[in-house]
Amino acid sequence: MEVFKKLKQFYWPYRWYFIFSIISLVFVAGITVIYPIVLQITIDDVVAQERFYLVPYIALIFVGLMIVKSIATYFNQYLGDLFGISSVYAVRDEMYKKLQRLSFKYYDNAKTGDLMSRLTADVEGFRFFLSFGFSELLRIFLLITVSLGVMFFYSVPLALVTMAAMPFLGIIVYKFDRRVHPAFRGIRKSFGRMNTRVQENISGMSTVKSLSREDFEIDRFTDKGENYRQHYLDTAKIWARYFPLMEFIGNVCVVALLAFGGYLVIQGDLSVGRLIAFFSLVWYILGPLMNLGFVVNQFSQAKASGERLLEILESDLEINDHPTEDVDHIEGHVTFADVTLTYAEEDDQALKNISFDAPPGKVIGLIGGTGAGKTSITQLITRFYEPEEGQVLVDGKPVSDYPLAQLRKNIGFVLQEPFLFSTSIKDNIAYGNPEATMDEIIDAAKRAQAHDFIMEMPKGYDTLLGERGMGLSGGQKQRISIARAILINPSILVLDDATSAVDMQTEFKIQKALKEVMEGRTTFIIAHRISSLKHADEILVLENGEIAERGTHEFLLQNNGAYQRIYDIQYQDKETVMANQKHA
């Protein structure tokens, strides 16, 4: 029950739904046990003594009991569902909030499909037990307790014979739980892996088709599906092994009951009506005991699901938001002081002793090979990650002193692979500033050279985009992303290869527009093309996480170092192409 104790905060506020559901259940269980008593009275006191005038009264009592039981069953099931649904709403809501707060490091290792599985299938598995499992456990307890009480009242020897089977059934149910819980945990994990495979395949469908890897992906999904099937088959074997044994013990108990009960009737120690009532009551004990296996199954699924939910809910945030002061505005003065960053203990250092100063209005260019540490620098400014050593300062204060929301609202990001939501173009641009007016949205789009192509869309700014901006070219998506960054009016602007997906002419227009936007703002330009950052106030050339060179474009060209080599590669290739075109 440790899992349910840890998740108590989510279902305890709705305990009154559960309590009234259980009160209704008491009526249901009590009336259920009354049926055999009514049957015994009918046989012994009406039929045997030929008092048939009592039949209509007994029938009316029976109908009245059924009506009360139906009403109680309604409240039991409805309130039980209300308890489960309300509880898992709180669980799912808290999980989603936690996913929003978890750091980038968590998502570096997480699988999207697995997270989706936890938010859907695992939450639903936990809900099902809250709605029905707890209630069913209490129903079983009440039926067995009350039925045994009536049976001991009717005949102590016969009741003891009935109880003889219970320890054996209890041992089997215990062993069943020990085997079935790990099996269901395996099912949940394999389902998450299968979900991940589907999600990655759909997201990368263009790559799959362009490389004709459909058969390979089919085989990979088949493997995951086979693993999921095998886990289910293993669980089915456990069921197939234990449930017939439970049923066998129950039937042996019934045979013993009929034999010994028949003997007591012959001896005159038990009436026929009581024997028949006993036969009904024994199934109110054996049936729930055998049904206990199904409840244990539900409990095991809920426990396995709850463990997977807790893995998210109990994950360390790593980036804690404990600001020491609140500020209205950030100037954007960024300073790195001997900053070292390692993403994981076993990895090499992503940044090594990085130091630089970027006052407001200064443009910093970052260039270097893949994995050199360009993006890592900008991710430290926003506290996506924490430095291992050194300090990252904004306006002379450590970034950890600022509230995360305030810090990040003052930083505008334009990523190399912009993400657009499945909503209108207008909503995508205004995502970081939902209070923006339409005039402000249009102005931001014009600055990003996006207004013209937006107006050519079927519904202009109200045009709905497909998933991940489906229907737009890479350059169009980047320009909408730039407009989104402009609209939040950031103090710090990060352009991470922001013009990599546009042609040279559009890049020139965007850069011309961005010059106005960058005025008074600290700007970081990450680029592979020298043309994108040669006008920067200072260019940092990164190699293996270290600053190999720094200076202006003109200074670095005279330095005959790494920057010069990059320049020669890019522009010599360009000159070769132009010469070949001229020769042709």
Beta strand 538-543 with 334-341: parallel, antiparallel or unpaired?
unpaired
3-state class (DSSP) for residue 418: coil
Dihedral sign for Cα 428, 432, 435, 436, please. negative
Which range has the worst mean pLDDT, 37-46, 178-187, 361-370, 393-402? 178-187
The span from the CA of 249 to the CA of 330, in Å, is: 75
Averaged over 207-217, what is the pLDDT? 66
pLDDT at 506 over 70: no
pLDDT at 95 over 50: yes
Number of neighbours of residue 506 by Cβ within 10 angstroms: 17
Element (H or E) spanning 413, and its range? Answer: strand 411-414
Q: Identify the bridge partners of residue 412 per DSSP, sorted by sequence position.
A: 493
pLDDT value for 581: 46
Q: Looking at mean pLDDT, say which of 133-147, 289-303, 381-395 comes out highest.
A: 381-395
The span from the CA of 318 to the CA of 101, in Å, is: 10
**Amino acid letter, 212:** S
Averaged over 465-492, what is the pLDDT? 80
Q: Identify the bridge partners of residue 411 per DSSP, sorted by sequence position.
A: 492
pLDDT value for 583: 44
**Which residue spans within 444-552 are E strands per DSSP?**
492-496, 522-526, 538-543, 546-551
Name the burial class of residue 306, with classes exposed (0-12), middle (13-18) and buried (19+) by CB atoms within 10 angstroms of its CB: buried
pLDDT value for 212: 64
Residue 215: both structure tokens together:
């058969």
How far is it between the farthest Cα atoms of the chain? 122
The span from the CA of 87 to the CA of 554, in Å, is: 64
470 against 567, higher pLDDT: 567
pLDDT value for 391: 92
- pLDDT-derived band at 580 (thresholds 50, 70, 90) equals very low
User: To the nearest 5 percent, what fractions of the chain are helix, strand and coil?
Assistant: 70, 10, 20
pLDDT value for 208: 65
- pLDDT-derived band at 584 (thresholds 50, 70, 90) equals very low
Q: Identify the bridge partners of residue 525 per DSSP, sorted by sequence position.
A: 365, 495
Domains defined along the chain, listed by start: 2-313 (1.20.1560.10), 330-410+522-584 (3.40.50.300)
pLDDT at 535 over 90: no
- Per-residue pLDDT tens for 214-256? 777 778 778 887 887 888 788 778 777 777 777 777 777 777 7
- Per-residue pLDDT tens for 113-130? 778 778 877 888 788 778
The span from the CA of 179 to the CA of 181, in Å, is: 6
For residue 342, give every residue at least 6 positions away whose Cβ sits within 8 Å of its Cβ, in sequence order, or none.
Answer: 348, 349, 350, 388
For residue 282, give every residue at least 6 positions away whose Cβ sits within 8 Å of its Cβ, in sequence order, or none.
Answer: 147, 151, 162, 253, 254, 257
Q: Which of 174, 3, 203, 29 minimizes the C-alpha distance to 112? A: 203
Dihedral sign for Cα 477, 479, 482, 483, please. negative
Phi, psi of 338 (to 5 degrees): 50, 55
- Per-residue pLDDT tens for 296-330? 777 777 887 888 888 888 888 777 776 766 777 78
Residues in the chain, how many? 584
Number of neighbours of residue 514 by Cβ within 10 angstroms: 25
- pLDDT-derived band at 335 (thresholds 50, 70, 90) equals very high
pLDDT value for 44: 78
Residue 234: both structure tokens together:
């293993």
- pLDDT-derived band at 210 (thresholds 50, 70, 90) equals low
Q: Which of 341, 327, 340, 342 minimizes the C-alpha distance to 396? A: 327
pLDDT value for 579: 47
pLDDT at 438 over 60: yes
Number of neighbours of residue 579 by Cβ within 10 angstroms: 10
For residue 261, give every residue at least 6 positions away whose Cβ sits within 8 Å of its Cβ, in sequence order, or none.
Answer: 155, 158, 270, 275, 278, 279
Which range has the worst mean pLDDT, 279-293, 323-337, 425-439? 279-293
Element (H or E) spanning 398, and its range? Answer: strand 397-398
Helices 272-313 and 166-203: angle between axes, nearest 10 degrees: 40
**Which residue spans within 126-165 are E strands per DSSP?**
none
Contact 138, 22 (CB under 8 A): yes
- pLDDT-derived band at 392 (thresholds 50, 70, 90) equals very high
pLDDT at 145 over 60: yes
Contact 269, 97 (CB under 8 A): no
pLDDT at 334 over 80: yes
Average pLDDT over the chain reads: 80
Averaged over 277-305, what is the pLDDT? 76
- pLDDT-derived band at 570 (thresholds 50, 70, 90) equals confident
> What's the CA dihedral at 485, 490, 491, 493 to 10 degrees?
-10
Element (H or E) spanning 574, and its range? Answer: helix 562-583
The span from the CA of 339 to the CA of 546, in Å, is: 10
**Which residue spans within 285-371 are E strands per DSSP?**
334-341, 351-358, 363-368
pLDDT at 148 over 90: no
pLDDT value for 303: 82
Averaged over 4-19, what is the pLDDT? 86
Averaged over 156-176, what is the pLDDT? 77
| DSSP string across 193-214 | HHHHHHHHHHHTHHHHHHTT-H
Q: Which of 161, 566, 145 minimizes the C-alpha distance to 368? A: 566
Helix then strand count (H, E) for the chain reads 22, 10
Name the burial class of residue 435, with classes exposed (0-12), middle (13-18) and buried (19+) by CB atoms within 10 angstroms of its CB: exposed
Q: Which of 139, 390, 158 minimizes the C-alpha distance to 271? A: 158
Dihedral sign for Cα 149, 155, 157, 158, please. negative
pLDDT value for 577: 42
Contact 167, 309 (CB under 8 A): no
**Can you say whether residue 552 is alpha, beta or left, with left for phi > 0 and alpha for psi between -120 and 50 degrees?**
beta
Q: Looking at mean pLDDT, say which of 64-73, 143-152, 303-312, 508-517 comes out highest.
A: 64-73
The span from the CA of 96 to the CA of 153, in Å, is: 54
Give percent above pLDDT 70 in the chain.
89
Contact 364, 540 (CB under 8 A): yes
> To 5 degrees, how large is the angle CA 431–CA 434–CA 439?
100
